[in-house]
Structure 1
Amino acid sequence: MSDSNTPDPNTSGAPVPPRPPLPDSGATGHPAPSTPGQAESGTPQPGNGWFAHAPQTAQHPQAAQHPQTAGHHAAGASFSAQPTDTHASRTTDAKVGSGKIVAVLVAAAIVGAVSGLGGAAIGNDMFAANGTSVVSQGSTTVTVNDPDTVNQTTGIAAKTLPSVVTISATSSSGGGTGSGVVLSSDGYVVTNTHVVTLDGASSDVALRVTTSDGKVYDATVVGTDPIYDLAVIKLTDATGLTPITFADSSKLNVGDTTVAVGAPLGLSNTVTTGIVSALNRSIQIASSAVPDSGEQQQDQGQNGESPFQFDFGQGQQGGSSSSGTISIAVIQTDAAINPGNSGGALVDDKGDLIGINVAIATAGGGSSSSSEAGSIGVGFSIPANIVKRVTDEIIADGSATHGLLGAMVGNAADAQDSDIAGALISDVTSGGAAAQAGLKSGDVVTEFDGVPVRDATDLTAQVRALAAGAKASLVYVRDGKTLSADVTLGELTE
């Protein structure tokens, strides 16, 4: 994934010049000039971004100190939905209650086609100005009071909402709410492990799932993956659900527009917008559900309390104390993600899934007060490509595998004589993946599988993102020389 920024041509505050008249393409054969402020590639410019909130779940053990994060969780998805038919008609004959609108089923394709155009243009394409104020598509409802001024986010919301659900989890030890994303029409849904286990407090949680149109289902856990905080549940006797469509999260750019959809604070069908703030980011989070693995703990390489917390949802407190930490690779976004967004969808400007919302940063470094509750513009989502791999494995086998490097690592920048950032290898396991690749104590890994490594958390997160047995390349520094190696990962065991 690249980490480039796309500059906003209008950040200077200078007025945008009027659109020049279109040339007669029939006479010249040349295409019309692009609209000022719109990239040549057709990529939406900053300011046109869309975000969706993540679902909420049971409270974290530190929920008392972090009331804003209590009970919220995030979930992921693994099945690819059918692609939107980009050739579908944009007629205004689709029924919406007693009114008529353009078929919202093709909202994503329409939005992509009109990227950069004004709200009126999108409104004329998508919604008929017949006095209709509510637009419905399948299992979702979107309010439109002025069809002439609807924007792209309206179309994204109409496409995404049917694929996002609200999850209620209860047990004798507590309860909470979170979100989930539909993977299949027959009821497979991805969410977070911390949602369906109340952050490790219970292995026997009763789940009730509400779809965007108000239908309620019982659900059972298919499998959990505490290493990447993902879980798959199955709705009982569900049919005709709308699966999410997956995007390729490896092709994201910093500055890409995003939309978050979920149930923050229990408010289902909530939509927020933002941009991709950073890529190739890794965070370390305390988790009561993580297996007690000695190497897992030592791989983290970070000391002190993490400012990152699961965005727990409404309800009673879940897990009582953290038994460990996990390191996960994430997409950073400034879309508003609040307690209850956990497990919800982060989608792109086509309404396709780019990530599952999982955590937020707190201003108090892990000890925030109620005055600091809620979004501070720093939220995190598990990339869709990782979500798909993990959830596919869970559905097929009941669990997911994760790579193991077979090395003890720390932060190179913490060493007194260090002049480079990276993951410092302090020891290697005999016969392990690192040893077989020729790595030694004192080597500093600076890149793994094409992703920059700046500390131990980066390396651990990237290794765990891959399946057991996966092959990867890495770059390391030894005695001032930059070298490379290929590695075949082992399997992390509990």
Structure 2
Amino acid sequence: MTENNDKGIPEYFFPKVGEGSTPPPAAPAAEQVIPETFVGPARVQADKQSKALPLVAVAVAAALVGGIAGAGAAVFFTGQNSTTASSSAVQGITINDTDEVNAITAVAAKASPSVVTISVTGDAGAGTGSGVILNEEGYVLTNNHVVTLDGASNTADITVQDNEGNIYPATIVGTDPTVDMAVLKIKGTGPFIPIEWADSSKLNVGDLTIALGAPLGLAGTVTTGIVSALNRSIQVASSAAPDSSGSDSDNSGESENPFNFDFGQGQTPSQGQSQSAAISIPVIQTDAAINPGNSGGALLDSKGRLIGINVAIASAGGGEAGSIGVGFALPSNLAKRVSTELIENQKASHGLLGAQVSDAAAKDGSTAVGAYIEEVVDGGAAQKGGIKAGDIVTQFNGVRITDANDLTAQVRTAPGGSDATVVINRGGKTQTLKVQLGTLN
């Protein structure tokens, strides 16, 4: 422990500051890549649903360029050279009194050089989001809906701003709409400071969480909370996702799941844009404040390690999206696998069970929860693994399954072609089956 540290904070969090000295400068700026994909309107009206149920809103990255939401977002670059933004919104983590540094401050200071602000500009509008640096080569992980502005355009200029205000152009390496992730490559030289990964499978409900990103374009914003729930599954409609209707799917398309995109101070789909395609994603739920612009940013643990990529927030419906204490992040283990595959292959694989499913609890006379197998595809993974119509899936790879959405999200989390352990209820009896998954096209 360092001198004057009576809070039990690990000393590796503290900057090495000499007696009477001022805090050290922020770590070297990290450069990052920004994708060339779709660009959406800068601002749109939330889609109003008839149900009086909560809506899950992607923490959309588009903030209006020019207003407070876009402070520091309007930047320019020339060729491969970086420039420094002069906006007052450009700042790292400020530490005025090193004798009073707490764990939250220490975590933020440690991770700040690895978290960037992403600006996307296109014909339809402009917006900002967040991202994390993956390695020293300048690869950056963010959400697919950030770099595409939810699929509003197929061309965009992308820049990345580091914690010191340096601006770099970036290009898209690969996108994965199935789990709403994308990888960018920064055009420039480092040094780039990569984020440190944590094992999301070891999280507990109640663990400390720190969200770091650029809500409403305000770079370097830190909020904190706890892990509110694990193995949560949400389903969101996205025009940036491929439409899988009519194809072999693990969801019958009849789910009553109320979750959907609810665009607030970020951009929304342009007029006439469809939101028919839906994706089911597994998430960590947290009460750390997450707002539009936090999308793609870091959810950290008490040691400053990445436990998730912030992706969505819940809204009470009606007005503009904003934090109500229910936020969601894609688990780091999924993010690590998908980002690695995107860098290596420009695409990532996802499992396919080969079954049509519904919610078991919705069946007449049902006394169990799980994913009810309506039918299996001939020659598909489910059939080959011994799963039959009428079975109720209650666990998938050790994760409890409560409905069809849970099963779809967990199947998509697994790599295509991987082996899975599936626990079913058949006629009141529990069976454990080994299934080799197919690969989602």
Counterpart position of 1:395: 343
RMSD of the TM alignment (CA)? 2.8
Structure 1 residue 320: Cα displacement: 2.7
Q: Deviations over 1:248-304 (max 9, x none)?
A: 111111111111100001000111111111001110011111112133484455226
8 Å contact 1:198–1:319 — kept in the other structure?
no
Q: Deviations over 1:316-345 (max 9, x none)?
A: 969933131100100000001001000000
Which amino acid in structure 2 is aligned with residue 485 of structure 1? L
Counterpart position of 1:405: 353
8 Å contact 2:266–2:292 — kept in the other structure?
yes
Counterpart position of 1:431: 379
Structure 1 residue 150: Cα displacement: 1.5
8 Å contact 2:15–2:24 — kept in the other structure?
no
Counterpart position of 1:162: 113
Q: Deviations over 1:411-453 (max 9, x none)?
A: 0011111100000000100010000111111110000000000
Q: How many residues align?
A: 378
Q: Paired residue for 2:221, among 250, 265, 270? A: 270
* SS of residue matched to 2:93: strand
Q: Deviations over 1:88-141 (max 9, x none)?
A: xxxxxxxxxxxxxxxxxxxxxxx9999982689999886556373675333473
| Aligned ranges 1:149-188 → 2 under 5 Å | 149-188=100-139
**Match status 1:147 vs 2:147:** no
| TM-score for both structures, normalised by structure 2 | 0.80
Which amino acid in structure 2 is aligned with residue 392 of structure 1? T
C-alpha change, 1:300 and 1:316, in structure 2 (3 Å) is: closer
Counterpart position of 2:409: 461
- Structure 2 stretches of 5 or more lacking a match? 30-90
**Match status 1:332 vs 2:277:** no
- 1:449 and 1:316 map into 2 onto residues whose CA distance is 36
C-alpha change, 1:441 and 1:119, in structure 2 (3 Å) is: closer
8 Å contact 2:17–2:24 — kept in the other structure?
no
Q: Deviations over 1:338-390 (max 9, x none)?
A: 010000001111111100000000012xxxxx756410010000001000111
* SS of residue matched to 1:487: strand
Larger Rg over CA atoms:
1
Q: Deviations over 1:133-183 (max 9, x none)?
A: 675333473322333221011111111111011111111122211111101
C-alpha change, 1:426 and 1:116, in structure 2 (3 Å) is: farther
Which amino acid in structure 1 is aligned with residue 384 of structure 2? Q
- 2:113 and 2:435 map into 1 onto residues whose CA distance is 42
Q: Deviations over 1:393-418 (max 9, x none)?
A: 11111101110000000000111111
- 2:5 and 2:428 map into 1 onto residues whose CA distance is 48
Counterpart position of 2:28: 138
Q: Deviations over 1:450-469 (max 9, x none)?
A: 00000001000000001110
C-alpha change, 1:201 and 1:297, in structure 2 (3 Å) is: farther
Please, which moves more after superposition, 464-473 or 139-148? 139-148
Structure 1 residue 209: Cα displacement: 1.0
Counterpart position of 2:88: none
Counterpart position of 2:399: 451
Counterpart position of 1:346: 299
| TM-score for both structures, normalised by structure 1 | 0.71
**Match status 1:260 vs 2:211:** yes
Counterpart position of 1:57: none
- 1:241 and 1:134 map into 2 onto residues whose CA distance is 18
8 Å contact 1:266–1:313 — kept in the other structure?
no
- 1:447 and 1:317 map into 2 onto residues whose CA distance is 39
* SS of residue matched to 1:327: strand
- 1:432 and 1:120 map into 2 onto residues whose CA distance is 51
Counterpart position of 2:162: 211
C-alpha change, 1:113 and 1:339, in structure 2 (3 Å) is: farther
Which amino acid in structure 1 is aligned with residue 282 of structure 2? A
**Match status 1:231 vs 2:182:** yes
* SS of residue matched to 1:142: coil
- 1:117 and 1:208 map into 2 onto residues whose CA distance is 39
8 Å contact 2:2–2:11 — kept in the other structure?
no
8 Å contact 1:311–1:341 — kept in the other structure?
no
| Aligned ranges 1:349-360 → 2 under 5 Å | 349-360=302-313
* SS of residue matched to 1:361: strand
Counterpart position of 1:117: 7
C-alpha change, 1:427 and 1:396, in structure 2 (3 Å) is: same
8 Å contact 2:13–2:107 — kept in the other structure?
no
- Structure 1 stretches of 5 or more lacking a match? 1-110, 365-369
- 1:283 and 1:386 map into 2 onto residues whose CA distance is 15
8 Å contact 2:287–2:327 — kept in the other structure?
yes
8 Å contact 1:310–1:342 — kept in the other structure?
no
8 Å contact 2:206–2:227 — kept in the other structure?
yes
Which amino acid in structure 1 is aligned with residue 227 of structure 2? V
- 2:3 and 2:240 map into 1 onto residues whose CA distance is 44
- 1:320 and 1:341 map into 2 onto residues whose CA distance is 24
8 Å contact 2:397–2:422 — kept in the other structure?
yes
C-alpha change, 1:300 and 1:331, in structure 2 (3 Å) is: farther
